[in-house]
Structure formats: C-alpha cells, structure tokens
Structure 1
Amino acid sequence: MNIFKQFIFILILLLPALSSAGSAGKQKAILEPEKIMTFAKKVEKYAASQGARAFIIARAGRPEKDLPKGIQFTHTAIAVYSQITLNNNEQVKGYAIHNLYQKVSELDKSTLIVDYPVDFFWGVQSLKAGIIIPKPELQNRIINIISSGKNKQLHNKNYSVIANPFNDQFQNCTEHTLDIINASIYQTTDINRLKNNAKHYFKPQKVKINPIKLMLGKAFMADVTTRDHENKIYTATFTSIGRYLSENNLLSQAIILEANKQVPLI
C-alpha cells in the first residue's frame, strides 16, 4: 500500500466521530421500516400521554461508538402538537417536528424543514429517542415562537457540526433549538441578548475529540470548523439542554426512550 492509500485509509478510520450524518433530512432506512414506524408511534404516544404540546426530541444518526464522549444524539429538534394535512387532504392531529437540517448539496449550509416522527427516525442507527418535556408555560411560549414564525428569525444558515452556542458565527440543529428555547424564555429574538444570556446561564458540552480527527475534519469536511471557538471546543447537546432546563426549574421530564425501556436522561 503506497503512502497516499495509507493516508486515505487512516482518514476513513478517523473521521466518523465528526461526521454530520443524522443532522440531515430523511435518509435511507437502515432498520426495518415496520420497526421504525412502530417506534415513531411509540414516541408520539408517550409524549401525548404526558400531555406534551411541545417537546424537544433527539435521535441517534450514527453508531454510539462513533460519537465523541458525552454525546448521545446527533440531531435535536422541537416537536409541536399540530393539525396535520395528509396527502389525501384528511386532517389529523399529531406532532410536527421543526428541524434545522443540513443541505445535502452544501453541508456547511442549513435549512429549516418540518417533518413528522416517521420521517424523523427513518435513517436512525438505533431505536432510541431523547425526549425533553418543558414545563407547560415554556411549552406555550415555544409554540408561540414557532407559530408566529419567529423561529425563522433565529436561523443562521452557516452550519458547523460543532458550532459554538455562545456566538452567532455558525449554528447547528441543537444550537438552533437552544436559541428557540431562550427566545421563548426571554421573549426576544435579539440574538446578541440571547447569546449573552446563554454565556451566563447555559453550560455547554465540552467536545472531547482526538486532535488528529479534528485536524482532518477541518481539512476535509465542509461542515467542520473551529473558527467560532477560542481555545477549547464547547457545543450545545441534547443532554446539556436537559440540564439547563432542570437547573432553572423549567423541566417537567427528560428521558431516553428505547424500544423496550426508558431511562432518565439526567
């Protein structure tokens, strides 16, 4: 094997932990479609049984072994109980999921997409969902932000998988979710104020990753950059959002729901 081929082989081995798979839209199903649909319905039924009108939802789009230490999910969004129009124009009640997804053709750019639980879980690596249910008043405020379209004002199309939640240079799906939550808490879409408040009250997740992986990711992956970080790398995660709401008495429930069990998130 020549030096170039050795380098490519090493690159393939090292990059998965920084891969953005799982933060894009509907992908090819890895698991059996029937199991995905059953699990998606289980998530909906669980949220409804808890009286959730809006909740934070997460999925694992990569094998857990490929994720940096302390990170369990690759994509986070907000689910809102809504009136949904089916293809046959029938109207039903269900959860619409408000996502920030990477663009397939431009991985360093994102777009806002609404999909539904089956779509959300279609490309998952495992039947595992993160569910954070805020207290009812915060749920109502989140719904108001989204129904008024103010969530779009909080969208930064410049995407980085390890975006710094304390500035607005780049954004990923979890930071966008955090921005919506904070806009709901503070009743403002002033991004400077939101970032300043995040610095004071939100504790992000330190990203523990091999420096070589990080260097290669920055060199070869459009959606990996550290330009918005100073020294150590911190990012918003599903779990850190759960802790944030819990520490500020804004949390009703936070769990990890699997096909055959559920466990507390924090």
Structure 2
Amino acid sequence: MKRMLMSIVLVGSVFLAAFWAIPSQAQSSMSGGEIVNPERVIPFAKNVEHALAERGARVAIVSRVGRDPDRMPSGIEYTHVALWVYSDIQTEDGRTVRGYAIHNLYQLPDDPGKSDLVQDFPVEFFGNVFELRAGVIVPTADLQDRLLQVLNSSTYEALHQPDYSLVANPFGSDYQNCTNFVLSVLMAAIYETDNRDLIDANIEAYFEPQTVRLGPLQRAFGPLFVRGVETSDHSGAIRTSTFGSLSRFMRAYKLSDTDFTITERGVLEQAALAN
C-alpha cells in the first residue's frame, strides 16, 4: 500500500510538473522582470498604447499571454489582466509625459501564494511574455469615469486580498487572482460603492465565471506541487474569472465600448476573445 501511494504521488508530481510548467518569473501574475527581446517588446507595447489612445481610452482592461496556453489548465489562455490608465508620467530626467500607467495585482516572486498591488508601464508589462498578444476591453466612457474614481480612492487597495491562487473562486474571499481583483474594482465602480458585501453579492448575481477543467490528479495534487495554485475554495467545479469571462460579462451588460486583440501583425477588431 505504501509503495502504491508513493507511486501515485510520483506520477502525479511528474504529470503536474509537465502540465503546469512555470517559466522563469512565472509570468502569470508576476511582474515582467527582465525585458526579453526589447527590439520586439518596445514597438509592441507602443502599438498597444497607440491603439488605446486612438480609441480615446482613459482606462482600459488589458491582458497578456504570459505562459504557453498548452501548459495552462483548459479554459485559461490569457494569464494576466490589469487596468491601464492614461496618466501624467514622470521620466527619469524629470520631464512629465502622457502615457499609460498600469495598475496590477502581481504575485510576489519569492512567495507565489501572496500578491501585492504594483504600478508599472507597458514595456515591463510585456517584458517577458510567452507571446506578444494582448486582449483589450475599453469600458464605456461613464464606466471609465467611475473606474478612475475607484482607482484614486482607498477602495482600490481595500479590495485587495493578498492570498493568491491562479484559479481563485470569484464567489469566495479566501483567495484572489488578478482578474478577480479587476472584477471587484469593476463592481465597485459600477455600483459606486466600497461595501464589500454588496460588491460580492453583485458578482455572484451577475457574473458567470469560466469553468476550469482539471483532471483528478491536477485537482488533488496541484496545491502540493505548484505554488500559487489552491483549489480548497471550490466545493464543486473549479470556476474562476478569466479575461474571456470578463469580456462576456461586459458585453452582456453593455459596459464596454469595444474589445479587440492586438498581435504583432496589428489590431483584430471585435475578435472572438479567448479566455
């Protein structure tokens, strides 16, 4: 029996290591770290900024492909979601320029089970991704105004839950991932409230999460072998918020003006967005 149990654990660990392989800097909801291939990253980041500016976006929701989608749980392709805000930015030489500052929930690099709120910039956001592709949602003008109010208030930080899980349940409060955080900020803006109970109640009432299909070994052994993955907050099917589910929610309730995908080849307007 002991030998059989050890064999099961060994098989589980090998299977999980292959399926949930995490590259350097993790790149799900971790900060970009080193900028790889700056000759490609810098023009791409500028193209994303230009696409947002051309559409008059003062606040946008932008996602990136940080890990190989084939190594991610089924149902998750975009691995990090953040709020991009058109802002006054101080350069190192003291000048003030206009551009997009990015408001993120990032995993801590030395403790992937925890997260922090960090502000960075487009080049860092795409600095070490698996693929230069971004999913973009531009909220309605009214919702952008409300989002700016939340971002400039104490509500923004109050909505942060530092215990992180890649597949955090958006209907629970034990863990949070980057998309759950953005969803909470959205609900706070929509209802112009800092009441966490009201925010959570409206998420449960109106938001349809993405079902993440994990095999028995992944679900049972994932938390043991993959830091930053917890499944204990799910009593049944594992459901979490993803970029795709966020896009569908905002379309359904007419909360977005447009959504699109940007690749190195250009902008794909109103594309069928992935998760």
Bucket of the pairwise TM-score, normalised by the shorter protein: over 0.9
Gaps of 5+ in 1: none
SS in 2 for 1:114: strand
- How far the C-alpha of 1:217 sits from its partner, in A, is 1.4
Preserved contact between residue 55 and residue 79 of structure 1 (Cα < 8 Å): yes
Whole-angstrom CA distance in 2 between matches of 1:20 and 1:191: 30
**2:153 maps to 1:148:** yes
- Give the direction of change, closer, same or farther, for the CA distance of 1:214–1:85 in structure 2 (3 Å limit): same
- Give the direction of change, closer, same or farther, for the CA distance of 1:6–1:247 in structure 2 (3 Å limit): closer
- How far the C-alpha of 1:212 sits from its partner, in A, is 1.3
Q: Determine which of 66, 85, 95 is the counterpart of 2:100.
A: 95
Gaps of 5+ in 2: 1-6
Larger displacement relative to structure 2 (222-231 or 110-119): 222-231
Preserved contact between residue 35 and residue 124 of structure 2 (Cα < 8 Å): no
One-letter amino acid of the structure 1 residue matched with residue 21 of structure 2: P
SS in 2 for 1:184: helix
Preserved contact between residue 165 and residue 171 of structure 1 (Cα < 8 Å): yes
**2:56 maps to 1:51:** yes
Whole-angstrom CA distance in 2 between matches of 1:222 and 1:64: 18
Q: Which residue of 2 aligns with 1:21?
A: 27
Q: Determine which of 171, 182, 185 is the counterpart of 2:187.
A: 182
Q: Which residue of 2 aligns with 1:224?
A: 229
- Give the direction of change, closer, same or farther, for the CA distance of 1:195–1:260 in structure 2 (3 Å limit): same
Q: Which residue of 1 aligns with 2:132?
A: 127
- Give the direction of change, closer, same or farther, for the CA distance of 1:8–1:137 in structure 2 (3 Å limit): closer
Matches within 5 A, 1:157-172: 157-172=162-177
- How far the C-alpha of 1:228 sits from its partner, in A, is 1.3
Whole-angstrom CA distance in 2 between matches of 1:261 and 1:40: 12
Q: Sequence identity of aligned pairs in percent?
A: 35
Whole-angstrom CA distance in 2 between matches of 1:230 and 1:20: 27
- How far the C-alpha of 1:93 sits from its partner, in A, is 0.4
What is the TM-score when the length of structure 2 is the normalising length? 0.90
Whole-angstrom CA distance in 2 between matches of 1:179 and 1:136: 19
Q: Which residue of 2 aligns with 1:246?
A: 251
Deviations 1:17-76 (A, max 9, x none): 8x953210123344x211000000000000000000000010011012112233220000
**2:76 maps to 1:76:** no
Whole-angstrom CA distance in 1 between matches of 2:244 and 2:14: 33
- How far the C-alpha of 1:220 sits from its partner, in A, is 1.9
Whole-angstrom CA distance in 1 between matches of 2:113 and 2:165: 6
Whole-angstrom CA distance in 1 between matches of 2:155 and 2:11: 49
Q: Which residue of 1 aligns with 2:3?
A: none
Larger displacement relative to structure 2 (156-165 or 189-198): 189-198
- Give the direction of change, closer, same or farther, for the CA distance of 1:69–1:15 in structure 2 (3 Å limit): closer
- Give the direction of change, closer, same or farther, for the CA distance of 1:39–1:151 in structure 2 (3 Å limit): same
SS in 2 for 1:127: strand
Q: Determine which of 189, 208, 215 is the counterpart of 2:213.
A: 208
Preserved contact between residue 32 and residue 129 of structure 2 (Cα < 8 Å): no
- Give the direction of change, closer, same or farther, for the CA distance of 1:224–1:20 in structure 2 (3 Å limit): farther
One-letter amino acid of the structure 2 residue matched with residue 21 of structure 1: Q
One-letter amino acid of the structure 1 residue matched with residue 56 of structure 2: G
Whole-angstrom CA distance in 1 between matches of 2:51 and 2:122: 12
SS in 2 for 1:78: strand
- How far the C-alpha of 1:10 sits from its partner, in A, is 3.9
Q: Figure out how many residues of one structure are paired with residues of the other and give that number.
A: 263
